[in-house]
Amino acid sequence: MSAKILTVDSGTDIRHLIEVRLKKAGYQVVTAANGDDAVQLALTEQPDVVISGVRLPGLDGLTVTRRLKAQPNAPLVILLSILGGDHDIAAGFEAGADDYLTKPFSPLVLIERVRVNLIRAGRAASLPLADREAADE
């Protein structure tokens, strides 16, 4: 069974891009457009990974991260943000994020970050190289 990923971003285009690339890489994907929906979906869908923007309508990405990490069997959290300063990145990790990428980002790098974080957490085996290459098409 492939890992389930919840992707959260207020931008429809970004959400769609991430969803398409993750599905091509073999992951199950659910999406949310705001922080409140993200927390609710995470509780019902039990994703392995949450990829979240930082600036979200409703609850921001840092608050979403804190709430999810307070749950038993918390998902891995990867934050995506245009905020790339040292203090911004540090705030993401202090909130409990497992990884942090700045926008614009490479879809291939995002897929690799998902894969590596899953492996490090002991939640998934690595994907075949062909699947990773398909994610960058």
Q: Say what the pLDDT of residue 130 is.
A: 41
Tens-digit pLDDT profile for residues 93-115: 999 999 999 999 999 999 999 99
Q: Is pLDDT at 14 greater than 60 in this prediction?
A: yes
Q: State how far the Cα of 105 lies from the Cα of 82, in Å rounded to an integer.
A: 10
pTM of whole model > 0.85? yes
The tokens 């921001």 sit on which residue?
Answer: 60
pLDDT band at 123 (very low <50, low <70, confident <90, very high): confident
Determine the CATH number of domain 4-135: 3.40.50.2300
Q: Is pLDDT at 75 greater than 50 in this prediction?
A: yes
Q: State how far the Cα of 81 lies from the Cα of 104, in Å rounded to an integer.
A: 8
CA angle 21–105–50, rounded 5-degree value: 60
Q: State how far the Cα of 109 lies from the Cα of 87, in Å rounded to an integer.
A: 22
Q: Say what the pLDDT of residue 46 is.
A: 97
Alpha helices, DSSP H only, in 1-137? Answer: 12-24, 35-45, 61-69, 86-95, 107-120, 129-135
Q: Give the closest residue to 12 by CA, choosing from 47, 50, 53.
A: 53
Both tokens of 73, joined, read: 């069997």
